[in-house]
Every structure is written in structure tokens, then in C-alpha cells.
């Protein structure tokens, strides 16, 4: 049952927040508190456990949980009597989010948002989960209240053990340090990794759901620029071109959605994030400078024009995100029915659209209201179509623009998805950097002007008198002390703006922020920058160098320091970049893929001056348990290939541990990773048809889901071209048990033909 309190029968303490996410919950009957001492003191005084409910304003399942649970007066009454409830915007408080996401992953072997963590009054976690159906959540709160009242000592002991483990792991990560720079061979190792996982047919890396992996694309483009490695350019270009054709690209309004749910890039998760626009805008700009293809330039300009039109404050700052749903229907704003297309276009325009674009069906997914429309995707690049039809590219573009303008005017009449209009310093730094680079390389003065306006906005509204920064701004109110990533991303944005605008004030501001960042965040003993300035006590002070959906602050800082060195010639900046890479050298060496932006910085450093070779033997470090990965419970092998004419059959054999299962293909729920197999070879011309076996239906709190158990064989028929170079079987699976799902694992198995 879903409740709606449109008359605002209740108002809680979140009403004074500047966070759109917290404001979405300000009229829940739950007695929400923002993160802070008032809530902590209440928990101590009343001796109650705390619920930390962490999400963000464009999170689909956060909306579902609010409608089903937090707007329910009976559940709210139970929560208000039994616990202290704190609502947290992860985009405002990434430090709190990371710390308690780690707790959730350690307890459940999975994670996601909303992240709901129950903690003691001293903020030590003892129970966690993500989305809960209403009945399960009600029962959970009742059980926690009962155990808290009956055996509080045991719960606190459990929380103490988990907190100690988190602190130990983070201290090991913080203190691990190499004695020299990572070896330059890591660059080739990372290129080889991407080559193994590259999809020659459809672009991208790994299997569905497919993310843009902007870190990989920017690294590969830089590797081509510096080393002339054509393989790198081929992977980056192939991915960016296929993405530009797909439904992940908003052909009507410009810009990109968060990720694709399918391998063809046709059906996206429709959320639009500022950081995706920034990183992809930069990637398409870089590609155009290398390719000089008008299609690449058009995609880049579409991203920047969309951002200026829909995600820019009148005074220059950039907003955070556009929601995926409208009135609880994901994709409703972006999808088209045949009737809507015919109503929006004249006969000739409609015929042109149907000739050049396809329409992909949106599959029905359990837990989502189904959108009846379909998603536009481009059948082939416009330049290719124009050549085939004997048209100039300019004439083809004029027709395309006329059709898309008509569709956009029609779409603009629909109800817009929710806009998260808070301005985040770090994400603005990314977008400022992208606009400045595009202004220079596309010769678009208006993009340079946008970079300058946004940089001026941040410096005027989010910089304090003491030279430090705020994290967020909304409706005239700046709040929350900035984290290291805010400094790092702004420094990079300011350096790029200086290069584009040739105004010394931006270089001076970058210098000042770099000096301030070192004072606040640098670890003098072990090297590297902490994420926080240490002024607010959390369980542990963390350092972040591993990439996520955005690059890590330490990686961006390494590149910004190299930028400053290139501009000024001051060796101190280069030495600081080297010290930063040394600080994380052990981690980078152990897992270069997780530190792609750091390896990118290493690549650049190696072309500034000879790099020292890594000599230190790696020490063992406490890390998250390997048991959190699917590979601990699923073993994968490949059968001997069976050849028949110009085709062969390879069978992937998955041996699943007792008590565990893997998801069917397709998966029953959108947040489950489907089991998938593929065969790839270097030409990209092989046709691959996997035959997924019958599934077993399993009852869960979210409904019936289809799974595989025991030993599963998945035959893959491969029709070969003349080439069988580097033939390999790719497998992806996610192991689940009861209501716990582990992180998915990927396997690459070389296939040898006799």
C-alpha cells in the first residue's frame, strides 16, 4: 500500500534543510532528524538505537521506500516510539555514506541505496539493509526494539566488533605506502585488462548492465594521444560511438542517462547526473580532437547545450541531477508512443525519423510502473547515412535538428522529472573542467564563458573568508565544510579555465586552494590526502584513491598537480604529484583497474620525466573479505569447443555452491545482475548466440524471482569470421543467498582451437 500526504499533515525537522532529498521527506509523519548532535543526544538521553537512512533525491528505490513506508502513519508511529530516525543525503555527506556503506557491505555482502543502517547512540553499526518491503521493515523495527530492550549488551558488543573491523581495515588502507613510484608497466597491464573485456561488437566493457566507464575512456584516449596505441583509440572510439547511437543518449534533448540496462545501450536507467555530463562531455571533446569527425563534435555539443539549458543556475553554477521518474513512472518523460510521434511531427518528418531511428521497447520490471512508450536510438551515425543517401552532412544535420526540435517542443509540454537543484562544489569542478576544455578545443567561446561563470559562482558563493570551501549551495544558502574532493575537482576546473580564458585570477585561485588543501588534508606521515579535514569525529578518518562513479579526489589532484607543473614549471608541483602516487603505489599495483584515474596520472607523469621503478615487495593488507565476491561461491570453466562448419559451440559451466543461487537471464528485478555469457575475438565480427537454460522460480519478499542453482551449463554458438585471434569466453554472475546478494564477478577464459 502506498500513502500520500499531499495535504502535509506532518512537518518534521528536515523542513529547514537545503537538501532536496531531505526536503522530500520533510512532511513524512516520521520524526526525522538531520545528521547532527541534536539527534545523537536524543538517542543517548532516551537510550534508543538510531536508524541512519541514506539516499539521494533521484534514487528510484528511495522514492519507493518513502511512498510505501515513511509516508505510512502506522509505521511512522512505530519508528517514532522505538528509534531515533536520521535522514542523510549521500551527496551532501559522502563521508558518512562511504563509512556506513562499508558497514552494510560487511554485514550483508551487498549494498545500494537507500542504505538503512541501525547504529548505537555512539554511531556504531549493528544491522543494515537496503530496500525493505513494508511488512519486513515493520517486523525489523519491532525486533530491534525488542532485542535492544532485552539484550542491549549483546547488540553493543556486535556493534563494537564491526566498528573495530572497519577501523582496522581503514587504518591499513591509510597507512599502506610504497617507497617508490608504481611501475610504468601498470599502464600496459591496464590497457590489456580493457582489451580482454572490450565488446568488439557493441562497444563498452564487461556485460550488461553497461556503464559508460568514463575513467576507462579518458585513460584510453590519453594513452593513444601519448603513445599512438591504436588499440586504445579503437576501444574508446568504438564505445563512444555505440553509446552515441543508443538510447542511453537522449537524442531529443541532448546529454546522457546514467547507464544502460542492456548490452546494446538501448534501454537506460533514465536518471541524468551532472558528473556523467561532465565526464562524457570531456570524453567526446577529446575524441573529436583526435578524430575530427562531425558526429563526435555534435554529441559533445549536445551534452553541453543540454547542461546550459536544463542544469544551470541563472548566475552560473550547475545543478546536480534530473530524476529518472515522473509520477512514479521511470522513463515517462523520455519515452514515445507511435501516437505521440505522429502528433509531434508532420508526415515527412515522421518518415525521416523512422528511416534513421529505431524504437526500443521498455521491458516490464517487477517493482516499477511500466512505461508504455519506447526509446529512440540511432540506427547508424548521421554522417554514414548522409553519405549513403548522397546528401551533405550539413543538410542531414539540418533535417535532424528540425525533427528533434519538434520532438523537444512536444516533450517540453510533459511534466518534467524532479530537478535536484543543489550545487555541489566537486561536481561543479568536473563540469567547469569539461566546459573549459570544450571551449578551447571546439572553438566555442560560449563554453569558455560558461566555465568562467560557474567558477566565479563557486568562488563567490562557496568559498569562505579563510580560503576554504563549502560543499553545497542551494537557494542562497551554502553549508557543510568541503571535503578533499571538492578542493581537488575545483583546482582542476580552475586550471582548465585558466588555460581556456587566459585569466591569471583562475590560476591564482587554483594555487591558493592547492596550498589550503595540503594544510587541511595531507597525511604528513604516510602521504596521500584524507577525505575529511578531521574536525568532525567519525569512526575513522578515511583516504580515498579508488574510483567510483566519479574519479577519486586523490587521482584528480594528481592530475591537477601535473597541470600546474606544466603551466608554471615549478618542480614542487611535480614532486607533490609523485609523492601522491607513491602514497597509493601498493594499492595501485595490486589492482590497477580500481585506480584507473591514478594510472592515468602515472601515464602522464611518465611522459613528463622518467619514472622510478617500483621496488618494494607488497605487504599483506587487511581488506574486505574475498567472501564478499561471487567468485568465492561460483566456479566457472569452459568445455572443449565443438566445431561444425564455420561455427562452433562453447559451453560455459558454472558450479554454484550449495545454498547459493545466481540470477537468471534476464534477471527478475532491475537491481539484480543477470547471469550472462559472451564469446569475443579481435575482429568483432563473430555472431554469438547464448542459449540460457530453464530457470528455477524462488519466492522472495519482493515476489517470485528466477534463478539458477547447482551446476549450470550455458552453450554459446559462435559463427566465426575468418579471424579467430584471441578467442575468449566472458562470464558474469552474481551470487545470492536468501536476501543477500554479493558483488558480481567476471571471468575471462581463453579458448584454444585445435
- Can you state the angle between helices 134-150 and 73-82, rounded to 10 degrees? 20
Residue 109 lies in a domain: yes
Residue 372 lies in a domain: yes
Q: Which residue has the cell 601535473?
A: 562
Name the phi and psi angles at 460, rounded to 5: -85, -35
Residues 634 and 717 in one domain: yes
What average pLDDT score do residues 548-572 get? 94
Nearest to 433 by CA among 567, 527, 318: 318
All cell numbers assigned to 106:
560487511
Q: What is the pLDDT of residue 626?
A: 46
Which residues 6+ apart lie within 8 Å of 645 measured at CB? none
Residues 150 and 236 in one domain: no
What distance in Å separates the CA atoms of residue 720 and residue 681, rounded to the nearest whole number?
9
Residues 21 and 149 in one domain: yes
pLDDT in tens, 140-157: 999 999 999 999 999 999
pLDDT in tens, 196-240: 999 999 999 988 899 999 999 999 999 999 999 999 999 999 999
Residue at which a domain ends, from 352, 384, 416:
416
Q: What is the pLDDT of residue 599?
A: 97
Compute CA distances 323 → 61, 304, 419, 690, whole Å.
Answer: 12, 19, 6, 35
Distance of CA 226 to the CA centre of its chain: 27
Lowest mean pLDDT among 9-13, 197-201, 626-630, 662-666: 626-630
Question: What would the DSSP string read from start to end of 460-494?
Answer: HHSB-TTS-BEEEEETTEEEEEPPHHHHHHHHHHH
Residues 221 and 110 in one domain: no
Contact yes or no for 410/343 (Cβ under 8 A): yes
Residues 110 and 256 in one domain: no
| Other CB atoms within 10 A of residue 58 CB | 25
Q: What is the pLDDT of residue 632?
A: 84
Residues 32 and 124 in one domain: yes
Nearest to 586 by CA among 524, 527, 542: 527
The partner residues of 377 in beta bridges, in order of sequence, read 358
What average pLDDT score do residues 532-541 get? 91
Residue 422 lies in a domain: no
Please determine, for residue 77, whether its predicted confidence score (pLDDT) is greater than 60.
Answer: yes
Task: Read off the pLDDT band of 108 (50, 70, 90).
Answer: confident
Please state whether beta strands 735-737 and 703-708 pair in parallel, antiparallel, or not at all (unpaired): unpaired
What distance in Å separates the CA atoms of residue 429 and residue 455, rounded to the nearest whole number?
8
Residue 374 lies in a domain: yes
Please determine, for residue 4, whether its predicted confidence score (pLDDT) is greater than 50.
Answer: no
What average pLDDT score do residues 668-692 get? 82
Please state whether beta strands 745-750 and 50-55 pair in parallel, antiparallel, or not at all (unpaired): unpaired
Distance of CA 228 to the CA centre of its chain: 29
Cα dihedral across residues 89, 92, 95, 96: positive or negative? negative
Contact yes or no for 204/256 (Cβ under 8 A): no
Residue 35 lies in a domain: yes
Domain carrying residue 696: 627-750
Residues 212 and 159 in one domain: no
We report the CATH number of the domain holding residue 112 as 3.40.30.10
Residue at which a domain ends, from 374, 390, 416:
416
Q: What is the pLDDT of residue 702?
A: 62
Lowest mean pLDDT among 114-123, 430-439, 603-612: 603-612
Q: What is the pLDDT of residue 379?
A: 95
Which residues 6+ apart lie within 8 Å of 514 measured at CB? 487, 491, 560, 561, 564, 573
Residues 213 and 295 in one domain: yes
Residue 674 lies in a domain: yes
Q: Of all residues in the chain, what percent carry a pLDDT higher than 90? A: 76
Task: Read off the pLDDT band of 342 (50, 70, 90).
Answer: very high
Residues 297 and 344 in one domain: yes
Q: What is the pLDDT of residue 628?
A: 61
Question: What would the DSSP string read from start to end of 32-82?
Answer: EEESSHHHHHHHHHHT--EEEEEE-TT-HHHHHHIIIIIT-HHHHHHHHHH
What distance in Å separates the CA atoms of residue 240 and residue 232, rounded to the nearest whole number?
12
Helix ranges (DSSP H) in 591-736: 596-606
Residues 282 and 232 in one domain: yes
Residue 258 lies in a domain: yes
Q: How many structural domains are present in the chain?
A: 3
Residues 235 and 97 in one domain: no
All cell numbers assigned to 494:
580552475
What distance in Å separates the CA atoms of residue 428 and residue 493, rounded to the nearest whole number?
8
Q: What is the pLDDT of residue 723?
A: 64
Which residues 6+ apart lie within 8 Å of 480 measured at CB? 92, 93, 470, 471, 472
What distance in Å separates the CA atoms of residue 221 and residue 236, rounded to the nearest whole number?
6
What average pLDDT score do residues 12-41 get? 95
Cα dihedral across residues 445, 447, 453, 456: positive or negative? negative
We report the CATH number of the domain holding residue 654 as 2.60.40.1250
Q: What is the dihedral of CA 104, 106, 110, 113, to 10 degrees?
A: 20
Please state whether beta strands 661-663 and 735-737 pair in parallel, antiparallel, or not at all (unpaired): antiparallel
Q: What is the pLDDT of residue 230?
A: 95
pTM: 0.85
Residue at which a domain ends, from 370, 386, 416:
416
Name the phi and psi angles at 695, rounded to 5: -110, 165
Name the phi and psi angles at 718, rounded to 5: -120, 120
Please determine, for residue 448, whether its predicted confidence score (pLDDT) is greater than 70.
Answer: yes
Q: What's the chain's average pLDDT?
A: 91
Q: What is the pLDDT of residue 612?
A: 31
Q: Of all residues in the chain, what percent carry a pLDDT higher than 70? A: 93
Residues 237 and 283 in one domain: yes
Residue 255 lies in a domain: yes
Amino acid at each position: 500500500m502506498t500513502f500520500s500526504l499531499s495535504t502535509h499533515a506532518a512537518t518534521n525537522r528536515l523542513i529547514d534543510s537545503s537538501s532536496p532529498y531531505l526536503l522530500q521527506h520533510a512532511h513524512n509523519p516520521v520524526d526525522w532528524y538531520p545528521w547532527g548532535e541534536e539527534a545523537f543526544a536524543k538517542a543517548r538521553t532516551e537510550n534508543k538505537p538510531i536508524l541512519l537512512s541514506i539516499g539521494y533525491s533521484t534514487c528510484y528505490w528511495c522514492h519507493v521506500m518513502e511512498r510505501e513506508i515513511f509516508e505510512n502513519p502506522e509505521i511512522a508511529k512505530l519508528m517514532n516510539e522505538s528509534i531515533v530516525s536520521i535522514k542523510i543525503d549521500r551527496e551532501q555527506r559522502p563521508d558518512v555514506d562511504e563509512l556506513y556503506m562499508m558497514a552494510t557491505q560487511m554485514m550483508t555482502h551487498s549494498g545500494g541505496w537507500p542504505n538503512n543502517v541501525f547504529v548505537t547512540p555512539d554511531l556504531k553499526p549493528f544491522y543494515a539493509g537496503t530496500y525493505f518491503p513494508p511488512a519486513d521493515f515493520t517486523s525489523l523495527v519491532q525486533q530491534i526494539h525488542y532485542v535492544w530492550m532485552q539484550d542491549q549488551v549483546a547488540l553493543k558488543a556486535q556493534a563494537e566488533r564491526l566498528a573495530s573491523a572497519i577501523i582496522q581495515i581503514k587504518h591499513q588502507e591509510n597507512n599502506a605506502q610504497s617507497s617508490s613510484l608504481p611501475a610504468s608497466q601498470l599502464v600496459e597491464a591496464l590497457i590489456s585488462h580493457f582489451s580482454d573485456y572490450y565488446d568488439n561488437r557493441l562497444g563498452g566493457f564487461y556485460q550488461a548492465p553497461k556503464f559508460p566507464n568514463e575513467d576507462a575512456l579518458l585513460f584510453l584516449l590519453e594513452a593513444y594521444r601519448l603513445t599512438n596505441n591504436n588499440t586504445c583509440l579503437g576501444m574508446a572510439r568504438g564505445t563512444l560511438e555505440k553509446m552515441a547511437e543508443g538510447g542511453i543518449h537522449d537524442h531529443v534533448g541532448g546529454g546522457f542517462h546514467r547507464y544502460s540496462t542492456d548490452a546494446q545501450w538501448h534501454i537506460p536507467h533514465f536518471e541524468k547526473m551532472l558528473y556523467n555530463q561532465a565526464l562524457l562531455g570531456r570524453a567526446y571533446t577529446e575524441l573529436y580532437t583526435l578524430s575530427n569527425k562531425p558526429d563526435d563534435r555534435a554529441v559533445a555539443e549536445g551534452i553541453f547545450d543540454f547542461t546550459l539549458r536544463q542544469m544551470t543556475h541563472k548566475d552560473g553554477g550547475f545543478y546536480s541531477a534530473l530524476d529518472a521518474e515522473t509520477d512514479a513512472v521511470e522513463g515517462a518523460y523520455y519515452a514515445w508512443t507511435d501516437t505521440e510521434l505522429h502528433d509531434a511531427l508532420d508526415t515527412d518528418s515522421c518518415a525521416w525519423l523512422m528511416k534513421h531511428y529505431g524504437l526500443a521497447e521498455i521491458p516490464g520490471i517487477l517493482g516499477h510502473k511500466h512505461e508504455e512508450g519506447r526509446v529512440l536510438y540511432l540506427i547508424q551515425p548521421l554522417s554514414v547515412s548522409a553519405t549513403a543517401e548522397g546528401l551533405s552532412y550539413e543538410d542531414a544535420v539540418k533535417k535532424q535538428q528540425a525533427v528533434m526540435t519538434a520532438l523537444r517542443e512536444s516533450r517540453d509540454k510533459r511534466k518534467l522529472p524532479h530537478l535536484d537543484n543543489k550545487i555541489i562544489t566537486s561536481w561543479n569542478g568536473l563540469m567547469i573542467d569539461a566546459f573549459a576544455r570544450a571551449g578551447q578545443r571546439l572553438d566555442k567561446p560560449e563554453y569558455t564563458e560558461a566555465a568562467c561563470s560557474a567558477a566565479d559562482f563557486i568562488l563567490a558563493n562557496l568559498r569562505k573568508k579563510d580560503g576554504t570551501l563549502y560543499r553545497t549551495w542551494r537557494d542562497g544558502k551554502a553549508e557543510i565544510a568541503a571535503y578533499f574532493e571538492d578542493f581537488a575537482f575545483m583546482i582542476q576546473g580552475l586550471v582548465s579555465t585558466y588555460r581556456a580564458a587566459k585569466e591569471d585570477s583562475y590560476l591564482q585561485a587554483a594555487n591558493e586552494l592547492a596550498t589550503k588543501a595540503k594544510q587541511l588534508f595531507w597525511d604528513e606521515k604516510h602521504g596521500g590526502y584524507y577525505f575529511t579535514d578531521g574536525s568532525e569525529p567519525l569512526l575513522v578518518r578515511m583516504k580515498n584513491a579508488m574510483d567510483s562513479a566519479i574519479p577519486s579526489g586523490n587521482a584528480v589532484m594528481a592530475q591537477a598537480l601535473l597541470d600546474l607543473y606544466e603551466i608554471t614549471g615549478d618542480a614542487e608541483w611535480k614532486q607533490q604529484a609523485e609523492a601522491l602516487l607513491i602514497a597509493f603505489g601498493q594499492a595501485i599495483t595490486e589492482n590497477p583497474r580500481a585506480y584507473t584515474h591514478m594510472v592515468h596520472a602515472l601515464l602522464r607523469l611518465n611522459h613528463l620525466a622518467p619514472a622510478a621503478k617500483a621496488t618494494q615487495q607488497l605487504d599483506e593488507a587487511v581488506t574486505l573479505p574475498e567472501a564478499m565476491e561471487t567468485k568465492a561461491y561460483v566456479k566457472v570453466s569452459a568445455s572443449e569447443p565443438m566445431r561444425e562448419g564455420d561455427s562452433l559451440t562453447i559451453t560455459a559451466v558454472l558450479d554454484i555452491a550449495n545454498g547459493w543461487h545466481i540470477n537468471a537471464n534476464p534477471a527478475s528485478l532491475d537491481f539484480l545482475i543477470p547471469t550472462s555469457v559472451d564469446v569475443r575475438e579481435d575482429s568483432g565480427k563473430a555472431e554469438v548466440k547464448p542459449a540460457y537454460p530453464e530457470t528455477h522460480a524462488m519466492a522472495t519478499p519482493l515476489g517470485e524471482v528466477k534463478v539458477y542453482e547447482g551446476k549450470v551449463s550455458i552453450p554459446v554458438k559462435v559463427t566465426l569470421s575468418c579471424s579467430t585471434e584471441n578467442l575468449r569466453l566472458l562470464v558474469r554472475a552474481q551470487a545470492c543467498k536468501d536476501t543477500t546478494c554479493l558483488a558480481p564477478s567476471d571471468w575471462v577464459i581463453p579458448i584454444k582451437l585445435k
